[in-house]
C-alpha cells in the first residue's frame, strides 16, 4: 500500500484570475535557476571560501533544491504510476 505524507499545501485559488500569470512564474523560475547557477560557480571557483561563507550550509541548500525539484517530478509521475500507465 502506498502512503503519501505531504505537508499541507498553501491555499489554492478558486478562480482563474487569482492564479499568477505564466510569464511571472517563468520569470521567477529563471531567477531561481540563475541564482543556483551562480552558487554552483561560486562553490566551484572557491569564491565562497574567499568570502568566508559556510561551505557546508551552501552545499546543503543546493542539495535541498535538487530534492525539491525531484519531488515535483515524482509527484507529477505519480498519477500515471497509480493508474498503471507507467507499466505499459
- pLDDT bin (cut points 50, 70, 90) of residue 1 is very low
Kindly state whether residue 16 falls inside one of the protein's structural domains: no
The domain tally of the chain equals 1
* CB of 2 closer than 8 Å to CB of 82: yes
pLDDT 10s digits, 54-86: 999 999 999 999 998 898 888 888 777 667 665
Kindly state whether residue 1 falls inside one of the protein's structural domains: no
Angle, alpha carbons 9-36-18 (nearest 5°): 35
Kindly state whether residue 11 falls inside one of the protein's structural domains: no
Q: What mean pLDDT do residues 35-41 have? A: 93
Is the pLDDT at 87 greater than 70? The verdict is: no
3-state secondary structure of 25: helix
Kindly state whether residue 7 falls inside one of the protein's structural domains: no
Give the best-scoring range by mean pLDDT among 4-8, 42-46, 70-74.
Answer: 42-46
Kindly state whether residue 76 falls inside one of the protein's structural domains: yes
User: For the whole model, what pTM was predicted?
Assistant: 0.65
Kindly state whether residue 44 falls inside one of the protein's structural domains: yes
* Confidence at residue 10, expressed as pLDDT on a 0 to 100 scale: 75
Domain extent for 58: 21-87
Kindly state whether residue 67 falls inside one of the protein's structural domains: yes
Kindly state whether residue 32 falls inside one of the protein's structural domains: yes
Amino acid at each position: 500500500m502506498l502512503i503519501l505524507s505531504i505537508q499541507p499545501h498553501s491555499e489554492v485559488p478558486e478562480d482563474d484570475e487569482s492564479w499568477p500569470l505564466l510569464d511571472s512564474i517563468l520569470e521567477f523560475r529563471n531567477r531561481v535557476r540563475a541564482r543556483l547557477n551562480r552558487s554552483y560557480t561560486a562553490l566551484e571557483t572557491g569564491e565562497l571560501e574567499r568570502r568566508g561563507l559556510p561551505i557546508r550550509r551552501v552545499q546543503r541548500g543546493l542539495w535541498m533544491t535538487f530534492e525539491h525539484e525531484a519531488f515535483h517530478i515524482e509527484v507529477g509521475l505519480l498519477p500515471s504510476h497509480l493508474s498503471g500507465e507507467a507499466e505499459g
